[in-house]
Structure 1
Amino acid sequence: METDVLVIGGGAAGFFTAINIAAQSNLKVAIAERGKEVLTKVKISGGGRCNVTHAEFIPKELVKFYPRGEKELKGPFHTFMSGDVMEWFESRGVALKIEEDGRIFPVTDSSQTIIDCFLNESKKHGVTILKGMPVKSIHKVASGYQVQTAKEVLNAKAVVVATGSNPKIWQLLEGMGHSIVPPVPSLFTFNCTNSLLKPLPGVATMATVKVVGTKLTSSGPLLITHWGFSGPAILKLSAWGARDLSDLNYQFTIQVNWLHQLTFEDALEMLKTTKEEHPKKTLGNAKVFDVPKRLWEGVLTEIGLLDIRWADISKKQINALAHELTSAAFQINGKSTFKEEFVTAGGVELKEVNFKTYESKLHPGLYLAGEVLNIDAITGGFNFQNAWTSGFIAAKAIVSQLTEH
């Protein structure tokens, strides 16, 4: 089969690239997807609601959500970022809404709305979608590229690789001379069996978490689960610490400050004041801090102070309570995938890509978009934003390259 542009990978970045090329030109565009279905990750993202992007509209602020890719994305985000994404979807009939935490979703709260938009746009602009087409090899030829799939040979003037975290494609790119940063998981939750946590699944609170023995620290909402810890504070930590935590084989100790920004000294002062003001009350009946009641009672139970009266608490016990509230230690043994949203740190070495065009510096006419690159972000719509930005800029560069020559 002959085409002008072949996009390898039928996910978010692949579709966005293909649609934008076809909409801006008369070029023949085809998408080759290895699976039976396209846009499978889009379907499950955001709990099935598809967190399209995030309401951060300043490029230099937006890049701070990317543990890998922060420096490289500054230029691209000045070209196409969250505001442009909103305009792109809304001009195609997809109404979006911004939630309190800044995440942006379709008003329908259904990822199917985004999928339908992509499929309709593909049809409207004549994009050919080839399913069940795993790629076996990519070769440079005089006319561009020859791509061998399991079913047939595809010839194209330009190729876009948008295969996400696909080890086989990384292997092919490595064979073509690209360096691949070895992949490790990012965006995962922490497994922990601890007596304090057992009765507390579902409890959420603002907290600060540190990984002992490293510089890794994170603040934000923390969720106690049946298997340990989750929530934005943990996911941020897993993203920034993806390589360090992999090196530790996911066996490490965290310190949790349940009081978020309060120090040990702050906590001690407030506890002493409460002792003076409510001597006859039990600790369990006089919650001092802005933490969930179940968590307060859980901490007190853990150190045997739940039913003690404030008048009877010793200096040593007050110190122990302040310590437990501001620097409780938990042993982490392993990780779990966050929902179905598996994100990988790793991919094509960023020095080998021109971020003005997303073209490979080693192979003219070969473009790389989305998570195939060593770029990843924390949860909140940022990984999709990377897909849209890279796809849009690659599309613009390809249209310019193939229609001007």
Structure 2
Amino acid sequence: MKIAIIGGGAAGYFAAVTAAKEASNEVHIFEKTSKVLGKVKISGGGRCNVTNVIFNPVKLSKSYPRGERFLKKAFGKFNGEHTVEWFKGRGVNIVAEDDGRMFPDTNDSQTIIDCLTDEADRLGVQLHLSNTVSKLTPNENGTIQLTINDSSQVFDKVIVTIGGQPKLESFDWIKNLGHTIEDPVPSLFTFKINHKPLTKLMGLSVPDARVRIVGEKKLNETGPLLITHWGLSGPAVLRTSAWGARMLYNRNYQFEILVSWYNKLPDQELREYVNDQKVILKKKQIKNNNPFELPQRLWDYILQRLEIPETKLWLDLSKKELNKLVEVLLADKYQVNGTTKFKEEFVTCGGVSLTEVDVKTMESKVVSNLHFAGEVLDIDGITGGFNFQAAWTTGYLSGKS
């Protein structure tokens, strides 16, 4: 069987090596650029966040704002545990970190790239770089004709793994086949905040914070929070952006957020804790006695925000000042005016409608022998290795079929 893979990313390579295990299959990867696996290379700060320790299909599927029900069935066939075993069987050990993310033990994404490309070479997968597929034409006999760089080739099966696309027109050649395309909008993006006193703290990280969208009770996420020169980033922000991708797009990225800098105690318990600290630290200066384990620069910023003199003693804090301190620690409000891309994790929600794809084989219900895998589908996960896992899973199922 002659098989074409359109796209040389994670899903494309996994589909290719899975399909090529059948000796009778002739597998070709067509990549429009001069390089393959580009996103694998830069992901996880160059370490490649391969998957996540959540292996249970039901629990794993809950990390996907789009595609949960679809993936729950798919993960029953191939999930994170299978991914770890697959790479281990090819000499690559995948290890977990405390936050659940999993990386190659070399901490180098090139390890994953070499594993995939070596496996493809071993199985005889043929790679065609700088080859753009501009048209797909189904034939009456079930084969599919591809227009590639102004020439044509015919294949028995085609697997589309072109990744997420920022513009709807990029899907026109798929839409023209009769497929429904969910409008693509950004997911996993950072928040732009024009507040110089905050952005002056760029590079500062808070390990356990909470971010909430004002007016949206369900849109709140916890985790590390990073202050940048343009605003806020880090897992807490990225996860919030993923769950709210379409709603925030509809708001033109103009909204308010509440930041909990201290996320260890709820409101009443924190108030009691602050009052206790006033007694314990009574004759000590507030600047040099921070009982919240916050970075010193952030503590100084909070005191300035509350207009509390650095030389003030804890015992001299008024009831009003104590209340304001609790409010800022739990719900510091900021106006978001736009977004910026987070280059390592940026993904797009939207793509080929899942209602038109068979979850068992990733085959189109509209065009026979046409399959999809990866982010070209209307699937996206939160940060933490989930998007790559969706790529491995859908790539495996499409290749195996």
User: Aligning the two structures, in what range does the TM-score lie when normalised by the shorter sequence?
Assistant: over 0.9
* 1:143/1:156 contact within 8 Å kept: no
Which position in structure 1 is the counterpart of 2:176? 175
Which position in structure 1 is the counterpart of 2:118? 120
TM-score, scaled relative to structure 2: 0.95
The DSSP-based 3-state class of the residue aligned with 1:213 is coil
* 1:133/1:151 contact within 8 Å kept: no
The DSSP-based 3-state class of the residue aligned with 1:132 is coil
Matching of residue 32 in structure 1 with residue 33 in structure 2: no
C-alpha displacement of 1:195:
4.3
Given candidates 207, 232, 239, the residue that maps to 2:209 is 207
Task: Give 1:211's aligned amino acid.
Answer: I
Matching of residue 191 in structure 1 with residue 196 in structure 2: no
The DSSP-based 3-state class of the residue aligned with 2:156 is strand
Number of residue-to-residue matches in the alignment = 395
Which position in structure 1 is the counterpart of 2:360? 356
Per-residue Cα deviation, 1:138-195 (whole angstroms, up to 9, x for no partner): 0011251000011421210111001112355511111111111111111111111224
**Equivalent residue runs for 1:226-305 within 5 Å:** 226-305=229-308
Per-residue Cα deviation, 1:198-229 (whole angstroms, up to 9, x for no partner): 44222222111111122311111111122111
* 1:49/1:105 contact within 8 Å kept: yes
Moved more, 286-295 or 368-377: 286-295
C-alpha displacement of 1:238:
0.6
* 1:163/1:169 contact within 8 Å kept: no
Per-residue Cα deviation, 1:219-245 (whole angstroms, up to 9, x for no partner): 111111221111111010011011111
Per-residue Cα deviation, 1:285-304 (whole angstroms, up to 9, x for no partner): 22122322322222012212
Task: Give 1:174's aligned amino acid.
Answer: K
* 1:54/1:82 contact within 8 Å kept: yes
Q: Unaligned 5+ residue runs, structure 2?
A: none
Matching of residue 87 in structure 1 with residue 119 in structure 2: no
CA distance in 2 between counterparts of 1:279 and 1:109 reads: 47
CA distance in 1 between counterparts of 2:297 and 2:63 reads: 32
Which position in structure 2 is the counterpart of 1:153? 152
C-alpha displacement of 1:59:
1.0
Which position in structure 2 is the counterpart of 1:382? 386
* 1:196/1:299 contact within 8 Å kept: no
CA distance in 1 between counterparts of 2:67 and 2:375 reads: 11
Given candidates 106, 109, 132, the residue that maps to 2:107 is 109
Moved more, 366-375 or 136-145: 136-145
Moved more, 176-185 or 256-265: 256-265
CA RMSD of aligned residues (A): 1.5
Task: Give 2:305's aligned amino acid.
Answer: E
Task: Give 1:327's aligned amino acid.
Answer: A
Which position in structure 2 is the counterpart of 1:402? none
C-alpha displacement of 1:261:
4.4
* Residues 97 and 263 (structure 1), Cα distance of their counterparts in 2 relative to 1, 3 Å cut: closer
CA distance in 1 between counterparts of 2:319 and 2:38 reads: 57
C-alpha displacement of 1:83:
1.0
Which position in structure 2 is the counterpart of 1:403? none
The DSSP-based 3-state class of the residue aligned with 1:146 is strand
Which position in structure 1 is the counterpart of 2:63? 65
C-alpha displacement of 1:196:
4.0
* 2:199/2:227 contact within 8 Å kept: no
C-alpha displacement of 1:49:
1.3
Per-residue Cα deviation, 1:293-352 (whole angstroms, up to 9, x for no partner): 322222012212132112222111111111111111011111111134320011011111
Matching of residue 347 in structure 1 with residue 351 in structure 2: yes
Q: Unaligned 5+ residue runs, structure 1?
A: 398-405
* 2:142/2:369 contact within 8 Å kept: no
CA distance in 2 between counterparts of 1:260 and 1:23 reads: 49
CA distance in 1 between counterparts of 2:346 and 2:325 reads: 38
* Residues 195 and 303 (structure 1), Cα distance of their counterparts in 2 relative to 1, 3 Å cut: farther
The DSSP-based 3-state class of the residue aligned with 1:13 is helix
Kindly report structure 1 stretches of 4+ aligned residues shifted beyond 4 Å: none
Per-residue Cα deviation, 1:68-100 (whole angstroms, up to 9, x for no partner): 111111111111111111111111122222222
Task: Give 1:87's aligned amino acid.
Answer: E
* 1:181/1:348 contact within 8 Å kept: yes
CA distance in 1 between counterparts of 2:327 and 2:216 reads: 20
Which position in structure 2 is the counterpart of 1:371? 375
CA distance in 2 between counterparts of 1:85 and 1:21 reads: 16
CA distance in 2 between counterparts of 1:94 and 1:272 reads: 53
The DSSP-based 3-state class of the residue aligned with 1:16 is helix
The DSSP-based 3-state class of the residue aligned with 2:300 is helix
Task: Give 1:298's aligned amino acid.
Answer: Y
The DSSP-based 3-state class of the residue aligned with 1:79 is coil
Per-residue Cα deviation, 1:90-146 (whole angstroms, up to 9, x for no partner): 111222222222222122222222222222111111111111111111001125100
TM-score, scaled relative to structure 1: 0.94
Task: Give 1:378's aligned amino acid.
Answer: I
